[in-house]
Each structure stands twice: as C-alpha cells, then as structure tokens.
Amino acid sequence: MDIFEKCFNYTDAKEVKDAGIYPYFHALESRQDVEVVMEGKRRIMLGSNNYLGLTTNQEIIETAVKAVEKYGTGCSGSRFLNGTLEMHLELEAELADFLRKEAVVTFSTGFQSNLGIISSIVGIGDYVVCDRENHASIYDGCKLSYGKMVRYRHNDMEDLEKRLKAIPDTAGILIVTDGVFSMGGDIARLPEICALAKKYGARVMVDDAHGLGILGEGGRGTANYFGLEDQVDIYMGTFSKSLASLGGYMATSDEVAEYVRHNSRPFIFSASIPPANCAVALAALRHLRAHPEIVDRLAALSAYARKGLQQRGLKIRMSETPIIPIYTYDATNTLRKAKEIYEAGVYVNPVLPPATAPNECLLRTSYMATHTEPLLDEAMDIIADVMGAKA
C-alpha cells in the first residue's frame, strides 16, 4: 500500500472550501493589532493571543532592531553548544525573578517547551496525569515520554483523585494542567489539584501560556493568582502571547532546571531563540513589570466584553479571563457564522472537535489591553447582528 494513500483520500478541507466556509490561513497584511488589514479589508481583531497588545509597542520594536544589529539574524546552534547569547541568560534570570522561581530554561517555542519538559521528566515507570482539555503540546509531550499517560475529566477533582488512587505507590507522578484553558477561557482548579498532589505524592506542572500577563499580581500567572507559587513545581509558558515574541520557558527549581538542560532532547537538539525574539521577550517582560496596570486594563476590558455580549443576547461561556467563547453548537453553523462575521469586519476563531465536544462548538473571542470600549461595541454589534441575537 502507498503510504500517501491517506493524503490522496483526504477530502475534509476541500469539502469545506467547496462549501465556501473554510476558516483557516487568512492572510494578514498589517501588524497584529486591535484592527488589522486581512485580505484587503479592515477587520477588528478578536482572535489574537496578543493579550497585552505589545506587538506594536514602538520601544519594544526598537529593541528587536538593535538586537539584530548587535547579534545578527540568528544563533545558528543550540543553547547546549554555540547558541547561548548573554541575552538568553539575562532573560532567564529576569523571568525567574519575576515568577519567584529559582531558575528558568528557555525553549525555541511554547509547543517545544511542553515536549521538552514532559519528555525529560517523565520516564519509564512514571505516570503523567492530564486534564482532558489540556493543550495538544502536552499530549504530544506525553507521547514523547516513556511514561504512561492517564487522563481525567476536565476540572473534575473526583475523577482526578480516582485516577491518582489507581497509580502504584512506587511510581513517580506528574500532574499537568493548563492554568487557563485556551479554548474555554476557564481556570484550572489549582488549589484542589495541589492538595491532591500532596496527598498522593505527585508533582504539579502548570501550562501558563494563557495565564502569564493575565492572572495574578502584575500578571504573574495562575499559581500566583491562587497563592500557590510554592506548591506548583513547574511553570511552563510561552513568549508568543502576552510577551509579543516567540519562544517558551520552564520555571522551576535549580535542580530540575539543571536536569532538563542536560536531558531534554527538544532543548539540546534545537537552535536557540533568535536575537530579535529574545530581545522582544525581555523588553516585553520589563514593560509588564514597569506597567502592571495593563493587566488591570485587560481585566476591565474583558469584563466589559462579557457584559456587552450578554446584554446583546449572546450565549457565552463565563470566565474570568480575556478568552470569551460564544456558543454556536454544531460545526457547520460555527463555520458559517465565523465566515459571516469575518465578512462583516470582525475576526474570531471557530473552535471545532476535537477541541470541543461535537455539539458544543464555539466562536472563540479574545481581547487585548489596547482595545477600546467603542471598538468593542462596534465588534459586538456586528457579532450580535450576524448571530441574530436579541437583547
């Protein structure tokens, strides 16, 4: 049998394209901002993870230019060998201080961070216990490890305890959860997770890709939000969202960081973050530390959007984060509504199975600290009109 047969027989994308409701790969022709030009037309951006709006901050942009002028365009090697810049070490030290952890290890992407952390920590005879709605990179990190993956129902602490009880006392256990779940915008039940981890001798890792810059004191994330910084063993995060760059990190103890640096294949065998990306992440972190009020502004705008969507008669999934999903239920309706909203001048993300249950499809809207109330009102009016909502 030809191994390409699956490719030749794949028709899902073509069928959606033929129906005129294909939602992917829309091309940006402008900066990632609250308003963008996409395929020749102005769109209000309600689908970005640029939560603090720092991708267009001129001072941060200038740091990228200066970094390229000083270091060139790339590092041409892994951190393990010739690819460590002085700036990488500076970023790790300042991020560790911000997150109140002993050490930080940076990776080339957020996705790679989960691959590199989980695959090096979880070995033969170990168990990794995952929330069913964890990010795909966590699942792939589990597959790359030599341990056994066990899943529990989303934010269901009774089910988590049931799974933990069934694991042999002799096994090492790592519980991994998103801090803020990327599609639903809800927050992990971290106090209960940490209590169960203590009860069953497990360690806790939080993927805070959507928590940094959003939750906690000055945007320090989910563990800080709950006052559990000393009980979460590993934070994973990314630079591609609140910090307006590209790359990822692990924040943890000195001992765990040193182990991962010398045992993580995705870390050892990948080129390091390019100078411009490293400089932007560092500058964005410094901006966040200097301006913690932007976290409050983001929270206020998110609350404004939640209230506004409800007042316009839209059914949303409630959250305390800048991720606000609007229920559309079945997949075809979701794709049609996303297209109509896009054509009317607003970009949102359709969320389909397997990211949701088959009849719980969503339009994922997300907000930035640089949005304005009038712009959000314009976008929400468009969405409500397309959805046929009644206030």
Instruction: Provide the whole-model pTM.
Output: 0.96
Q: Is the pLDDT of residue 273 over 70?
A: yes
Confirm if 107 and 247 have CB atoms less than 8 A apart.
yes
pLDDT band at 355 (very low <50, low <70, confident <90, very high): confident
**First vs last C-alpha separation in the chain:** 57
CATH code of the domain covering residue 262: 3.40.640.10
Q: To the nearest whole percent, how much of the chain has pLDDT over 70?
A: 99
Amino acid making up residue 238: T
338 and 220 within one domain: no
Range of the domain at 347: 5-56+292-387
Q: Tell me how far apart the alpha carbons of residues 120 and 114 are, in angstroms, rounded to a whole number.
A: 10
pLDDT band at 43 (very low <50, low <70, confident <90, very high): very high
Could you give the angle at the alpha carbon of 246 between the alpha carbons of 304 and 106, nearest 5°? 115
Q: Say if residue 84 is exposed, middle or buried (CB neighbours under 10 Å; 0-12, 13-18, 19+).
A: middle
Q: Is the pLDDT of residue 389 over 80?
A: no
* Catalytic positions: 182, 210, 241
Residue 52 CB contacts under 8 Å (≥ 6 apart), including other chains: 213, 219, 242, 243, 244, 284, 288, 294, 295, 298, 368, 369, 370
CA distances from 371 to 44, 85, 314 (A): 10, 35, 20
Q: Tell me how far apart the alpha carbons of residues 298 and 185 are, in angstroms, rounded to a whole number.
A: 14
Dump pLDDT digits (tens) for 157-212.
999 999 999 999 999 999 999 999 999 999 999 999 999 999 999 999 999 999 99
Where among 228, 259, 290 does a domain terminate?
290
Q: Tell me how far apart the alpha carbons of residues 355 and 140 are, in angstroms, rounded to a whole number.
A: 15
Instruction: Return the sign of the alpha-carbon dihedral for residues 162, 163, 166, 172.
Output: negative
Taking residues 27-56, report their average pLDDT: 97
Mean pLDDT of the chain: 96
Total count of domains within the chain: 2
167 and 36 within one domain: no
Residue 391 has what pLDDT? 61
188 and 232 within one domain: yes
98 and 24 within one domain: no
Q: Tell me how far apart the alpha carbons of residues 292 and 297 are, in angstroms, rounded to a whole number.
A: 9
204 and 343 within one domain: no
Confirm if 377 and 308 have CB atoms less than 8 A apart.
yes
Query: What value does the CA radius of gyration of the chain take, rounded to a whole number of Å?
Result: 21
224 and 86 within one domain: yes
Q: Tell me how far apart the alpha carbons of residues 177 and 205 are, in angstroms, rounded to a whole number.
A: 7
Q: Between these two residues, 357 and 142, which has the higher pLDDT value?
A: 142
310 and 285 within one domain: no
Bridge partners for 200 per DSSP: none
Residue 129 has what pLDDT? 98
Dump pLDDT digits (tens) for 245-265.
999 999 999 999 999 999 999
pLDDT band at 317 (very low <50, low <70, confident <90, very high): confident
Q: To the nearest whole percent, how much of the chain has pLDDT over 90?
A: 96
CATH code of the domain covering residue 39: 3.90.1150.10
Where among 262, 290, 318 does a domain terminate?
290
353 and 234 within one domain: no
Confirm if 68 and 292 have CB atoms less than 8 A apart.
no
Grouping H, G, I as helix, E, B as strand and the rest as coil, residue 133 is: coil
DSSP string, 24-68: S-PPB-S-SSSEEEETTEEEEE-S---TT-GGG-HHHHHHHHHHH
**DSSP code of residue 146:** S
Residue 357 has what pLDDT? 83
Q: Tell me how far apart the alpha carbons of residues 244 and 257 are, in angstroms, rounded to a whole number.
A: 24
Dump pLDDT digits (tens) for 223-242.
999 999 999 999 999 999 99
